[in-house]
């Protein structure tokens, strides 16, 4: 007895027809199950939408102040940590360090120190990977001072964004500032920082993986970290903030016309 021959696979037209049939069934079920909303439900829905739009409207007027305030607080807290530890509030200072841990490597040899004989303690480039990671846990002491919660480059990035944002807020109503061209951002913001940090890490990796090459790691300086980080932060704001200004201005105008808000 011969086994039944397999049925031929469906062609494209049959697949499309089946898909359309299932969509039609689903739409019919939705139309049957859905009920018209009562006037009370529609009014409640409108109130919720109005409240949500009121929040968006307020944000469209005050977004820059919020961004600048956040950047200022975020930068200031990194200096509060060593100040608290110097004052004897060790746990409070350590808590701030833990908060900033996801944002920065916190290597002590690339960070600022307050209340000590030196502002920085650079390395000679001989640290092993495990030793580098261990320095991130060192928060300071009475003898050497106390470490900021962010490294030198990160402080420069966020601090520059805060200062650039304040400057932008002072001049944006007088002049219509256009976003910084991407080529300028790449050339003067990304490339310098990428070279400064990239060459540094490349020499470290070669030194660790190929010690026979006898290439000592090239450790950059606090000045270069601050300079390149500051350029990156300031130019990031120069690219981002004008675009955000256009978006929030359009949002403000749309909601002002819809609700008559000012």
Give per-residue pLDDT as tens, 112-168: 999 999 999 998 777 888 888 899 999 999 999 999 999 999 999 999 999 999 999
In the predicted model, what is the mean pLDDT of residues 27-54? 72
The three-class DSSP label of residue 5 is: coil
Greater confidence (15 vs 80) lies with: 80
Give 47's Cβ-side CA count (13 Å radius). Answer: 6
Give 251's Cβ-side CA count (13 Å radius). Answer: 18
pLDDT category of residue 97 using cuts at 50, 70 and 90? very high
Contact predicate 203/211, CB 8 Å: no
Residue 34 has pLDDT above 60, yes or no: no
Instruction: Residue 100: name the closest of 21, 32, 155, 170 by CA.
Output: 155
- pLDDT given at position 208: 79
Torsion of CA 143, 117, 110, 200, to 10 degrees: -120
Calculate the average pLDDT of the chain: 87
Query: CA 96, CA 199: separation in Å to the nearest integer?
Result: 31
């Amino acid at each position: 007895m011969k086994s039944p021959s397999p049925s031929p696979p469906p062609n494209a037209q049959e697949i499309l027809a089946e898909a359309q049939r299932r969509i039609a069934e689903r739409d019919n079920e939705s139309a049957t199950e859905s009920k018209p909303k009562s006037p009370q439900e529609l009014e409640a829905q409108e109130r919720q939408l109005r409240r949500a739009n009121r929040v968006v409207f307020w944000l469209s007027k005050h977004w820059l102040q919020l961004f600048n305030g956040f950047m200022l607080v975020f930068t200031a807290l990194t200096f509060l940590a060593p100040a608290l530890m110097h004052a004897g509030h060790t746990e409070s200072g350590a808590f701030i360090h833990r908060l900033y841990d996801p944002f920065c490597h916190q290597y002590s040899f690339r960070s600022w120190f307050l209340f000590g004989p030196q502002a920085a303690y650079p390395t000679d480039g001989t640290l092993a990977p495990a030793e580098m990671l261990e320095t991130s846990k060192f928060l300071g002491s009475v003898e050497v001072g106390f470490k900021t919660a962010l490294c030198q480059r990160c402080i420069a990035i966020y601090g520059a964004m805060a200062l650039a944002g304040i400057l932008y807020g002072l001049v944006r109503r007088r002049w219509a500032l256009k976003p910084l061209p991407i080529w300028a951002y790449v050339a003067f913001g990304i490339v310098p920082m990428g070279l400064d940090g990239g060459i540094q890490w490349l020499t470290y990796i070669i030194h660790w993986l190929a010690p026979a090459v006898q290439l000592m790691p090239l450790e950059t300086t606090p000045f270069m970290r601050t300079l390149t980080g500051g350029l990156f932060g300031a130019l990031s704001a120069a690219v981002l903030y004008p675009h955000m200004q256009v978006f929030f201005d359009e949002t403000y105008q749309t909601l002002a016309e819809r609700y008559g808000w000012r």
